Structure 1
Amino acid sequence: MVPSFGMAKSSALKVLKLSERRSEINPNDESGLILPQVLGNIEFKNVHFSYQAGPDSEVFDNFSLKCVAGGITVLVGPPESGKSTAIALLQRFYDPVKGSVSLDGHDLKTLNIQWLRSLIGVVQQEPVLFNTSVRENIAYGDNSRFVPQEEIEASAKRSNIHDFIKSLPQGYDTSCGTMENQFSSGQKQRSSHTSALDKKTEQIVQDGLHKALSGTTCLTIAHRLSTIQTSDKIVVVHRGKVTEESEMSATKLDPNDIFEIHGSIPMAVFPEA
């Protein structure tokens, strides 16, 4: 009994110590610039980054990338090549060890972090629905204000899920917690405003999202040819470096070459000014 208590105490102390840790990047920091207008030009310049100390653990090794305002840039490459790390740095979950990440020429470290993150929408490959209503799950995308029902329904229609929601027992008031098993993966993703959809509706939703994202800057990590084909620029990332990039108009895709990609796909979006 005593040894078990000692082990439990030791484990509890480790958990408490972990809960008391503070991020080096304060998410509640109110200082920093708020740009009067956002164009959406993103640049990673000579970025070096590692999650752990040591020369053999570097994720980015002189990583440089430019995302033009209003364009769709797709990152492709093998697992653990640094694609998801680019999204994490863009949201300032981490800062580069060397180099910089900038928005419209301003280093992200000089910008107000709350304002910066409010600009970015991220969609994961495996979305999670909160244990609340469908309406609240959709409206959660903008928690800075009350989102009227008209906007919620308009968003659902653009994502081709409005009819399904209306067929639920309580429509938009249906709890996603109690209905979790009735949502397919594709339907969950559409509730999260993503485009990884079933084959039957994928093209319809891709076209709708392409129109909805007009004027925004998108940085996508792709593993599907359909995602790549709607992009403006394809960037191949391998071992923490950009090894190749090409404008989509000049690219011929072969499913058997480098574009047969593996991995997951978050998407960062800067809205139109």
Structure 2
Amino acid sequence: MFALLRCCLTLAAVYIISLGELSPGPTRFIAVHSSLPAVLVSLTSALRLGDHLCGAVGDTRCWMMSAGASLLAALFWEVGAPDSNGRKDEQQKHGVLFMRVVRMYKPDCALLLVGFFFLTLAAICQIQIQFYTGKVIDNLRDSYVPDEFLSALLLMAVFSVGRSVGAGGRGGLLTWAINSFNCRVKGNLFQAQTKQEIEFFDTTKIGELTSLLSKDIPLMGETVCLNINVLLRTLIRTLYTMVLMLNLSWTLTFLVLMEVPVTGLIQTINNKHSGRLVKATNDSMTASNEAVSEIIMAVRTVRSFNAEKHEACRYKKRLLETHRLKKQKDMVSVVSLLAQRLTGVAVNVLMLWYGRLFIQRGQMTTGELVSFIIYQSDIGHNIRTLIYMSGHMLTSVGAAGKVFEVLDRQPQIKTDGKHAPDRLAGHVLFQNLNFAYPAHPDAEVLQDFSLELPVGQMTALIGVSGEGKSTCASLLKRLYEPQNGQILLDNTKLELYDYRYLSEKIAVVSQEPVLFSGSIRHNITYGLKDCSLDAIQEAAHQADAHDFITQLEKSYDTEVSEGGNTLSKSERQRVAIARALVRHPQVLILDEVTSSLDDHCETKVLRNLSSHPDRTVLLITHRLKTIERAQQIAVMARGGIQEKGTHRQLMDKNGLYCTMREKFATSGS
């Protein structure tokens, strides 16, 4: 009642003096300062600890002690949870992320529950060992009682076994849960990444995506599981230890607890600066990984331009930046640790001083003081751990934010079409397309582009580099969506088709085909569930690849390296053509695929491709002989089709087509 009355009167006075404005900081200080004496009186009375320092009104020492504790608590609150909206929003965001990560552990709930049981067992047994250590010391120093001594030793042994069993079971089960979490979330994240449209990969660095899988997900798993493990274990030990300490000496217990607000304030300041530096360090490490990936992927270009030293210096600069940030973070941790240790030393000196006085007065035994010292060393560490983990557990889930951004992201290109007819003619119509790449929205590649690909004919699309020829292939394959216009396949919009059905009916072979590590058979049947060897060989024959494949040591089972670098460029192109043909596509897009083939091989491949009367072929090339074989030639310029017709018709016009042929002939095409 006195505390409530003091609080109300003080707040009213401050309210009047400040003309109706009460800031949260002073309000919290007044509330804590008014209630502390009452709390102390209540505790000493309830625990029957003797005379208390504070009366109903309180003397000078009581008010000074309360004022100091209240001030430290208010400072701790202000640093740890300031009232700025930005910080509140950030903490709320961290809390939401943390709970999402916790919910993702639902399939591992049984493992976690059993693990937390072993955790509790290990924590309680550890404290009991310390308690009976004091009993043993008392029996050694004072009157020796054999039964009590042997009982204390036996209980110490039992609790030691219990602690070992609990610690081993806890570690094994929680590690099992973390591994299960990592495996499950990595699979989900990789699936979410591969579902995104190509625009996503154009604007996102590969190093960031691989870093999510290799670094951020393991950090998520350990942050939640291991942090909760440490937090619960420390909380159990702290509460149990505090009860035993109060039972031994409430005065020394309150003296030891004076360390808490100071340590909490220091740790909160450390968390604030460390969180910023950890984020900067992670970003710097990601940039270093991206540099390594980029250099290794383009190692041939680096070697050909003699840029090894330049790239090594660039990578070294990234490493030095990471090292600088880590050094700053370590320096902050060192200063924080030093301040905490000095605070702990001061509290320990006071505790030992008063402990000696209590032993002289007969209020404690030596064994009890030894037990109290052991408890104090543990509870100091435990309280520091609790303060650190309560803040670290929320701030460290920042890594989960990037993971959830990808998991929650919906692809911009819809793949929910259902149209999948039994028979597809393969008639393609580009209607009034306008398109600009997302990375460069102001630079339109296609402007009012219209083109018809007749069924069963080969259409050659020609133009100078950068006019958008390959873009047409990407749009037809639905790697991008046009900003305006539409693409019709058999008079049906492309987006209405089933995505898997469309990937089988439309095949693309690019100028730089990508082969994966594995056998040639695996590369030809890539993405197909069931494919016979006869079908593979037939596709290889049409691509003029069968002969060179059978000459290899293991024929179709020959392993190729990542990227297919063990094969020549001509061989890689023919394997890629076979990979497209084995699907029996109705629409086939060839983007400069014959650029590395000799005339004989090119003639054979094109003859095989044109022998299919129902297949629509879009040929993008600069080679003059290849262009002349097409039934229709479309000339691109300024983002649209400028001329269209057969070779003879376009030659008779003596227009842009003739000019381009002269350029191609001059360049050696």
* TM-score category (smaller protein): 0.7 to 0.9
Q: Which residue of 1 aligns with 2:283?
A: 10
Return closer, same or farther for 1:17/1:58 CA change in 2, 3 Å cut-off: farther
Q: Which residue of 1 aligns with 2:609?
A: 209
Q: Distance in 2 between matches of 1:248 and 1:23?
A: 42
Compute the displacement of 1:119 (Å). 0.8
Compute the displacement of 1:202 (Å). 2.5
Q: Distance in 1 between matches of 2:427 and 2:565?
A: 40
Point out the more displaced range, 118-127 or 179-188.
Answer: 179-188
Q: Distance in 2 between matches of 1:181 and 1:249?
A: 41
Q: Scaled by the length of structure 1, what TM-score is found?
A: 0.81
Q: Which residue of 1 aligns with 2:513?
A: 127
Q: Is the 8 A contact 2:432 2:484 kept in 1?
A: yes
Compute the displacement of 1:182 (Å). 4.1
Return closer, same or farther for 1:201/1:112 CA change in 2, 3 Å cut-off: closer
Return closer, same or farther for 1:243/1:251 CA change in 2, 3 Å cut-off: closer
- Which consecutive residues of structure 1, in runs of 5 or more, have no partner in the other structure? 263-273
Return closer, same or farther for 1:136/1:256 CA change in 2, 3 Å cut-off: same
Q: Is the 8 A contact 1:131 1:176 kept in 2?
A: yes
Compute the displacement of 1:251 (Å). 3.8
Q: Which residue of 1 aligns with 2:482?
A: 96
* 1:68 pairs with one of 449, 454, 464: 454
Task: Find the residue that maps to 1:99 and give its secondary structure.
Answer: strand
1:258 aligns with 2:626: no
Q: Scaled by the length of structure 2, what TM-score is found?
A: 0.35
Q: Is the 8 A contact 2:643 2:650 kept in 1?
A: no
1:159 aligns with 2:543: yes
1:237 aligns with 2:237: no
Give deviations 1:180-225, integer Å, cap 9, x for gaps: 44421111111111544123432233322322x4320111211211
Larger strand fraction of residues? 1
Return closer, same or farther for 1:85/1:17 CA change in 2, 3 Å cut-off: farther
Match runs of 1:74-223 below 5 Å = 74-140=460-526, 143=528, 145-177=529-561, 180-193=564-577, 195-196=594-595, 197-211=597-611, 213-223=612-622
Q: Is the 8 A contact 1:165 1:171 kept in 2?
A: yes
Q: Is the 8 A contact 2:621 2:627 kept in 1?
A: yes
> Percentage identity across aligned positions?
32
Q: Is the 8 A contact 2:434 2:449 kept in 1?
A: yes
Compute the displacement of 1:6 (Å). 4.2
| RMSD over equivalenced CA pairs, Å | 3.0
Point out the more displaced range, 8-17 or 96-105.
Answer: 8-17
Return closer, same or farther for 1:159/1:7 CA change in 2, 3 Å cut-off: same
Task: Find the residue that maps to 1:205 and give its secondary structure.
Answer: helix
Q: Which residue of 2 aligns with 1:271?
A: none
Compute the displacement of 1:131 (Å). 0.7
- Which consecutive residues of structure 2, in runs of 5 or more, have no partner in the other structure? 1-273, 287-398, 578-592
Compute the displacement of 1:16 (Å). 5.1
Compute the displacement of 1:252 (Å). 3.6
Larger helix fraction of residues? 2
Q: Which has the higher contact order (CA 8 A, sep 6+)?
A: 1
Return closer, same or farther for 1:249/1:37 CA change in 2, 3 Å cut-off: farther
Return closer, same or farther for 1:38/1:200 CA change in 2, 3 Å cut-off: closer
Which residue identity is paired with 1:72? M
Task: Find the residue that maps to 1:130 and give its secondary structure.
Answer: coil
